[in-house]
């Protein structure tokens, strides 16, 4: 084998003697990466440019074609259409409800399940199971559980003398229901990230502190929690961004209702673009979403840089 080596090498180089090794390597790399790059240009860069253009045009069922109107769609959203601020309010309420609840539950579960004891694997499996389940399926089952009088949850409440509300028919309860069921669906993911971070903390830290007489709470507050800082930050931003993108869950559970009480940004984009065919306006909404997510990401990067 080793003897055949130099011959092969020269043979290969004679295929294309005008190519230097460096050029050959560069060419091969571009070939390797070209499917990804082509897809990226066609399905991402192109559409991103297009959506900027669309957002500057009036394009709906009446006009049937795009006419340039400058920033009209943006000022429509920001100053004229009251729905927009209602939707932003809903999205913010959804995020403010979901993120802390998700993170607190994820951290508590991770603290309880980062050790080794009988059943730890079972519990982890259980808490993570909804993550692999389709959001549509999850929402269908919860919608069923939360039906008005005949729903299981209200029947349980009735049996202990509580008259449960018609969860998905009253705006505030519907929002609460969507938030809580979404947290249960997704908390397993953050739990896993927290468990990984907890297990990366050397055990001696806590042991040393315990020798010094620190209580469990003190160890958590002054040792564990600061060490979890970077993880907490990443989880916070990912979860916030995820909460702005929520669509399937709400589509299935409430359809944005009642009285638009759970109409959030991603749903609003879908509704304006694909149900009302107001392409220009929907594109402006998409750009606003883009800016919001971008700002969150940059915020995270800045904080992370300051940390290190």
Partner 1 sequence: MTASLTRRRIRIINQICWTLALCIVAIPFVFPFLWMVSSGFKSAAEIFGSPSLVPREWQWQNFIDVFKHQPFARQYLNSLYIAVTVTALTLLVSSLAGYALARMRFAGAALVALFLVSALMVPEEVTIIPNFFMMRWAGLVDTHWPLILLPTFGPQGIMATFLMRQYFLALPKELEDAGKMDGLSRLGVWWSIALPMSRPALAAVAIITFLNSWNLFLEPLIFVSSLDKFTLPLALSNFTDPYGMPLWHLQLAATSLAVIPILVVYIIAQRQIIESFALSGVKG
User: Taking CB under 8 A as the criterion, which residues in 249-308 touch partner 1?
Assistant: 251-252, 266, 269-270, 273-274, 279, 282-283, 286-287, 289-290, 293-294, 297
Select from 256, 237, 260, 259 the least CA-distant residue to 246: 256
Kindly identify the residues of this chain, within the stretch 59-98, that bind partner 1 according to CB under 8 A.
none
What is the x/- site pattern for partner 1, positions 178-217, by CB under 8 A?
Answer: ------x-x--x--xx-xx---------------------
Q: Which is nearer to partner 1, 47 or 100 (CB)?
A: 47
Q: Which of 90, 142, 177, 254 binds partner 1 (CB under 8 A)?
A: 142
* Residue 173 CB burial class (10 angstroms; 0-12, 13-18, ≥19): middle
Q: Which is nearer to partner 1, 82 or 119 (CB)?
A: 119
Both structure tokens of 259? 């009285």
Both structure tokens of 106? 């994820």
Cα gap 177→181, rounded to integer Å: 6
Q: Which of 30, 68, 225, 276 binds partner 1 (CB under 8 A)?
A: 30
Residue 152 engages partner 1 in binding (rule: CB under 8 A): yes
Residue 107 engages partner 1 in binding (rule: CB under 8 A): no
Kindly identify the residues of this chain, within the stretch 214-233, that bind partner 1 according to CB under 8 A.
none
* Residue 171 CB burial class (10 angstroms; 0-12, 13-18, ≥19): middle
CA dist list (Å): 193 to 72, 183, 205, 234: 43, 15, 20, 10
Cα gap 221→224, rounded to integer Å: 6
Residue 119 engages partner 1 in binding (rule: CB under 8 A): yes
Q: Which of 20, 67, 134, 218 binds partner 1 (CB under 8 A)?
A: 134
């Amino acid at each position: 084998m080793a003897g055949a080596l130099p011959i092969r090498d020269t043979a290969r180089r004679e295929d294309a003697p005008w190519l230097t090794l460096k050029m050959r390597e560069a060419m091969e790399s571009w070939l390797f990466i070209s499917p990804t790059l082509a897809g990226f240009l066609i399905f991402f860069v192109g559409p991103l440019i297009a959506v900027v253009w669309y957002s500057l045009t009036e394009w709906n069922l009446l006009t049937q074609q795009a006419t340039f109107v400058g920033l009209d769609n943006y000022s429509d959203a920001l100053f004229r259409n009251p729905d927009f601020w209602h939707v932003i309010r809903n999205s913010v309420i959804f995020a403010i409800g979901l993120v802390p609840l998700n993170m607190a539950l994820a951290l508590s579960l991770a603290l309880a399940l980062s050790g080794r004891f009988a059943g730890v694997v079972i519990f982890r499996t259980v808490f993570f199971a909804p993550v692999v389940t389709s959001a549509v399926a999850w929402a269908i089952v919860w919608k069923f559980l939360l039906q008005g009088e005949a729903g299981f949850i209200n029947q349980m409440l009735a049996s202990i003398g509580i008259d449960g509300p018609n969860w998905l028919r009253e705006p505030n309860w519907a929002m609460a229901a969507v938030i809580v069921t979404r947290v249960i669906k997704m908390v397993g993911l953050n739990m896993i990230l927290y468990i990984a971070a907890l297990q990366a903390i050397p055990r001696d830290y806590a042991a040393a502190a315990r020798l010094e007489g620190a209580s469990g709470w003190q160890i958590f507050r002054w040792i564990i929690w600061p060490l979890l800082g970077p993880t907490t930050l990443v989880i916070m931003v990912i979860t916030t961004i995820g909460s702005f993108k929520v669509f399937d869950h709400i589509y299935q559970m409430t359809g944005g209702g009642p009285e638009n009480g759970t109409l959030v940004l991603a749903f609003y984009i879908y509704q304006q673009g694909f149900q009302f065919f107001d392409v220009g306006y929907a594109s402006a909404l998409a750009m606003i979403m883009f800016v919001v997510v971008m700002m969150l990401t940059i915020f995270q990067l800045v904080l992370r840089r300051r940390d290190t």
